Chains A and B, each alone.
Chain A
Amino acid sequence: MKTRLSAIAPAGLTLTLVVLILGGADELRCDEFTREDLVRWQQEYISVVNRGDVLFHGGLGNHNTVSCDQCHPNAANTHPETYPKFQQQLGKVVALGEMINWCIMNPLESGPLALDDPDLIALQAYILHERRGVGLAAGRH
C-alpha cells in the first residue's frame, strides 16, 4: 500500500504542476512570473543567440577575416557540453569562453575578449544553442 502511494504521489504532483503551468498560473501567486515574462526572457535569450550567430559567421571584425564557422559550421565540433575540462594543450582546466578566446587569438589572429564581454556571452549562447539536447559531459575529453 505504501509503495503504491509513493508511486502515485509523484504522478499526482506532476499533474498538479501541469495544471498550474497550463491553467492555474494566474490565480496562484506562489511564483512571481507570468507567461509574458517567459516570452520576454526567451526573446532576450534568442536575441543574444542571434547576436552570437552573427559574430560566429564573420562578425568579429578581426583583421584576417577568418571566421569561426569556417572550421565549425553550425558550431559543430565545439563540444561545449564538455567544458570546463582539462584542455591538455593548455595544461589546465578551462571554461568554454577561454577556449573560444584561444581560437580568437590564434586562427583569427585577434585579441581575447573579457570573460564577461557581451560578445563572448553571445558566442557561447549561439554555440550552446546549436548543441541543445546533448547531455552534459563536463570534463570529458
Chain B
Amino acid sequence: MRMNRRQFLKAGGALLAAGALPVSVVEASFGRARPENFTFAYISDSHITHLKGSEFVRNWDRGLIRAISECNLLTPRPDFILYGGDLAQLGMPEEIDHALDLMGGLRGKVHYVMGEHDYYLDLGDHWRKRLGPDHYSFDHKGVHFVVLNSILTYDPWTHGPWDTPMARMKAMARLDNPKGSPFMVGAAQRQWLRQDLDRVNRRTPVVVVSHSPLQRIFKGWNFWTEDAEEIQALLKRFKKATVLYGHVHQIQYNQIGNISFHAVMATAWPWPYPSSYAQAESHLPKLTIEMNRADPFFERDATGWQLINLHTGKVDMHYLLPENRNRSVVFDHRLKRPIDQRYRSGADRIPPQIHF
C-alpha cells in the first residue's frame, strides 16, 4: 500500500508533534492481505561507560536517559522498541547491568541487538545471560523481523594471543584500530538464517536488524560486514526487504537491488563520515545526503533516535535530532529507493546539509 499525500501529511502531523523529541520512529505497513500500519522506535549505541563504584560517564548516561524519557512520550505508542547494540563501552557486567537498569524505565517490549562493545570482553556471555539469544526472529503484524549478531570476526583474531580479555575488548573498541578485524555474521548464523527465511513467503516483508551495516562501506572503521553479500543473496527473493543497522552513529541510507538500508543514530556521540578522513577512500552510498558536521559545544548534537513507520511495506525512517532539523528518509515507490524528504541529490536538490 502506497502512502498518498493525505496519509503522508497525517503522518507528518504526528511527526511534527513528535518533532521536539530526539527519538527515531519507524513506521511500517507490511501485511499482505490486510496491511496493518504500525510504528516502532529505535534506540542504539549508548556506550555506557563504567568508571568506578556507581560512577559512570555522565554524558553517555544522559544520552540514553533522554532517549528513553522521550520515547516514553511518543503518542500513539510504538508497538515495540528495537535496541541496536553497544549498550556498553567495554562489555563489563557493570555497564550492561547499568544500561539495562536505565532501559527498565522504557515503556514497551524491547528487542536487543548485540554490538561489538557488548561482546568482546566475555564473548557475549553476560549479555546473553541478561537478554537471551543473540540471533532470533519474530513476526509482527505480517512482517518478519530477523535479528543477527553481525559483529563476530575471524576465530584467530578472537582467540588470538591476548594478554587479557580486556586487551581484546579494547582492541575492538577502538574504531580506527589498524590491527582490528572485520565484522561478519559467520557461516553458522548464515545457515540458521537460510533455514529461518525458508519458511517465509516471498511476499512477506522482511526486516533484518544487525549492528554493523550488512553492506561494505569503509573497512578502516568497520563500517563493514565481511559476508554482507552472502546475507544480501539470502534476501534477494523477497519483494520487500529492509536492513536496519547501528554502529555508524550517523544517517546513512542505500538501495542495493531489492534491499533498502538505513542506519540509526547513536544516543552517545556522533561519528564523522568516512569521507572526512583524508588518507583513505570511502564507499559511502551515493544516495546518502550527509548530516552537517556536529557542533561539539552542544552535547547531544548529531546524536538521535528513530521512529520508524512501516506502513508502505517499506521503512520510513524519521530521525528526531536535537539541535538539528529532523529528517525523514522514506521509500519512494516510483524511484524504488529511499529518499530524504527534504534533502535530494542532483536536479531535485533542495539545499543540502553541508559537510566540510
Identify which of B57, B175, B221, B280 contacts A64 (C-beta below 8 A).
B57
A65 at the interface (CB under 8 A from B): yes
Q: What residues on A are CB-neighbors of B277 within 8 Å?
A: 73-74, 76, 130
* 20 sampled A-B residue pairs with Cβ under 8 A: A64-B51, A64-B57, A65-B57, A69-B176, A71-B269, A71-B270, A71-B271, A71-B294, A71-B296, A73-B220, A73-B272, A74-B277, A77-B272, A77-B294, A79-B276, A107-B269, A130-B278, A133-B278, A140-B356, A141-B356
Q: What residues on B are CB-neighbors of A65 within 8 Å?
A: 49, 51, 57
Residues of chain B touching chain A, judged by Cβ–Cβ distance below 8 Å, are 47, 49, 51, 57-59, 174-176, 220-221, 269-272, 274, 276-280, 293-297, 299, 356
Q: What residues on A are CB-neighbors of B270 within 8 Å?
A: 71
Q: How far is the CA of A77 from the CA of B276 in the complex (A)?
A: 6
Q: What residues on A are CB-neighbors of B221 within 8 Å?
A: 73-74
Q: How far is the CA of A48 from the CA of B255 in the complex (A)?
A: 44
- Is the CB–CB distance between A66 and B276 below 8 Å? no
Q: How far is the CA of A11 from the CA of B220 in the complex (A)?
A: 41
Output the least CB separation between A82 and chain B (Å).
8
A51 at the interface (CB under 8 A from B): no
Q: What residues on A are CB-neighbors of B293 within 8 Å?
A: 77
A59-106 CB contacts (< 8 Å) to partner B? 63-66, 69-74, 76-77, 79, 89, 102-103, 106
A40 at the interface (CB under 8 A from B): no
Residues of chain A touching chain B, judged by Cβ–Cβ distance below 8 Å, are 57, 63-66, 69-74, 76-77, 79, 89, 102-103, 106-107, 130-134, 140-141
Output the least CB separation between B243 and chain A (Å).
23
Q: What residues on B are CB-neighbors of A57 within 8 Å?
A: 174
Q: What residues on B are CB-neighbors of A133 within 8 Å?
A: 278-279
Q: How far is the CA of A51 from the CA of B299 in the complex (A)?
A: 28
- Is the CB–CB distance between B356 and A79 below 8 Å? yes
Given contacts A89-B297, A103-B296, A107-B296, contact A66 B176 (CB under 8 A): no
Residue with the greatest number of chain B CB neighbours at <10 A, chosen from A71, A133, A134: A71
Q: What residues on B are CB-neighbors of A79 within 8 Å?
A: 276, 356
Output the least CB separation between B43 and chain A (Å).
19
Sorted from nearest, which 9 A-B pairs have the closest CB atoms?
A77-B272, A73-B176, A89-B297, A76-B272, A76-B277, A73-B175, A76-B276, A74-B176, A74-B277
Kindly report which residue of chain B lies nearest to residue A79, judged by CB atoms. B356
- Is the CB–CB distance between B295 and A89 below 8 Å? yes
Q: What residues on B are CB-neighbors of A141 within 8 Å?
A: 356
Q: What residues on A are CB-neighbors of B269 within 8 Å?
A: 70-71, 107
- Is the CB–CB distance between B176 and A63 below 8 Å? no
Output the least CB separation between B217 and chain A (Å).
13
Kindly report which residue of chain B lies nearest to residue A130, judged by CB atoms. B279
Q: How far is the CA of A107 from the CA of B276 in the complex (A)?
A: 21
Q: How far is the CA of A66 from the CA of B294 in the complex (A)?
A: 17
Q: How far is the CA of A140 from the CA of B356 in the complex (A)?
A: 10
Given contacts A71-B270, A107-B59, A130-B277, contact A66 B49 (CB under 8 A): yes
Q: How far is the CA of A133 from the CA of B277 in the complex (A)?
A: 11
Output the least CB separation between A138 and chain B (Å).
14
Q: How far is the CA of A130 from the CA of B279 in the complex (A)?
A: 7
Q: How far is the CA of A9 from the CA of B137 in the complex (A)?
A: 74
Q: How far is the CA of A141 from the CA of B355 in the complex (A)?
A: 11
- Is the CB–CB distance between B51 and A74 below 8 Å? no
Kindly report which residue of chain A lies nearest to residue B355, judged by CB atoms. A77
- Is the CB–CB distance between B49 and A74 below 8 Å? no
Q: How far is the CA of A11 from the CA of B121 in the complex (A)?
A: 61
Q: How far is the CA of A132 from the CA of B279 in the complex (A)?
A: 8
- Is the CB–CB distance between A66 and B279 below 8 Å? no
Kindly report which residue of chain B lies nearest to residue A72, judged by CB atoms. B272
